[in-house]
Amino acid sequence: MRVDFTRGEAAVFVETMDRRLLAAADLHLGYEVELAREGVYLPGQLQNTIERMLALLREWRPDTLLLLGDVKHRVTGVSWRESRQVTELLLALREHVDEIIITPGNHDAGILVLASGQARVTSGRGVSIGEVWAMHGHCWPPPEAAEAKLILMGHTHPSVSFARGPGSRRRVFLHSKTERDLLARLLSEKSGRQSQKRLRGEVGLIVLPHFNNALQGIDISQLSRAGRVSPLLRPEAFDLFSSSIILSGGETLGSVGWYIEAGGIVGSG
């Protein structure tokens, strides 16, 4: 399996078996509309999102594009702007890739209808693609996820601060590993289904940051607070504090625990 970070973008490329996957998470189309209702006005992000995504597809030439949930922003229902933006996005991308797969997130009400004919929408608990389990990350996956070599997810919008004050925050990836058999037993317990397989070795996890440039993100020192962490980022699954922080070029910055001990600012410890 080959994993590449996309040098400055909030996406990851994975080549596994006979599949070439490009994954991105948390596009949150329509986010600027919600901000405008609160008196905060930002340029629309649709065209920017399309252009950046097309550039990635041309450079990496995947056969499958994975959109790991929260393609749209509104949690309940679908606004007419979101409907138009999701349709426009998928129409712009579908001719440049063999398949688009959407693993729905907690903001994706109505995505099955919006993506009809343009993308394959899976269960919110994720889908197996070769050696990869792809999901949004807001709920537990089934026991089958433990059989993968790598789990890809979004949901948490991880970022770090390089200084105090606005404009100092940067998006990051998180990387962690756990024992495959340990994860399988945990997921079996959560699902109420007993796994009959004895699994060996480790399974990796990569948490992708948000693709939408208008989102500020959540500082990883705050992710452990209630309601801000994925079920998988817990000590009994993938320990958040021992997870590695990875910059968009693939450089490892340190562990989440190190960052928190440094006071939540890179270089302050």
Mean pLDDT for back-to-back runs of 10 residues, the chain (269 residues): 94 94 96 76 86 97 97 83 92 97 95 94 96 97 96 96 72 97 93 76 97 91 71 92 94 92 67
Q: What's the confidence (pLDDT) of residue 256?
A: 94
Going from N- to C-terminal start, the domains of the chain cover 2-261
Phi, psi at 129, each rounded to 5°: -130, 95
Taking the domain 2-261, which CATH number applies?
3.60.21
The single residue listed with the structure tokens 């109420």 is 192
Phi, psi at 261, each rounded to 5°: -65, -30
Nearest C-alpha neighbor of 111 from the set 78, 79, 133, 137? 78
Q: What's the confidence (pLDDT) of residue 257?
A: 92
In angstroms, the CA 202 to CA 149 distance is: 7
Q: What's the confidence (pLDDT) of residue 211?
A: 97
As given in the structure block, the two tokens for residue 80 are 């007419």
H or E segment to which residue 46 belongs: helix 46-60
Q: Are 206 and 152 in contact (CB under 8 A)?
A: yes
Give the strand order in the sheet containing 132-134: 127-129, 132-134, 150-153, 202-207, 173-179, 244-246, 252-255
* Cβ burial 50-76 (10 Å sphere, 16+ → b, else e): bebbeebbeebebebbbbbbbbbbbee
Largest alpha-carbon pair distance within the chain? 55
* C-alpha distances in Å from residue 168, one per residue of 57, 109, 258: 29, 33, 19
Q: Are 158 and 174 in contact (CB under 8 A)?
A: yes
In angstroms, the CA 102 to CA 69 distance is: 6
Nearest C-alpha neighbor of 69 from the set 100, 103, 45? 103
User: Sign of the C-alpha dihedral, residues 220, 221, 224, 225?
Assistant: negative
Q: Are 218 and 156 in contact (CB under 8 A)?
A: yes
Q: Are 114 and 72 in contact (CB under 8 A)?
A: yes
As given in the structure block, the two tokens for residue 3 are 């994993």
Other CB atoms closer than 10 Å to residue 11's CB: what's the count? 27
Q: What's the confidence (pLDDT) of residue 166?
A: 57
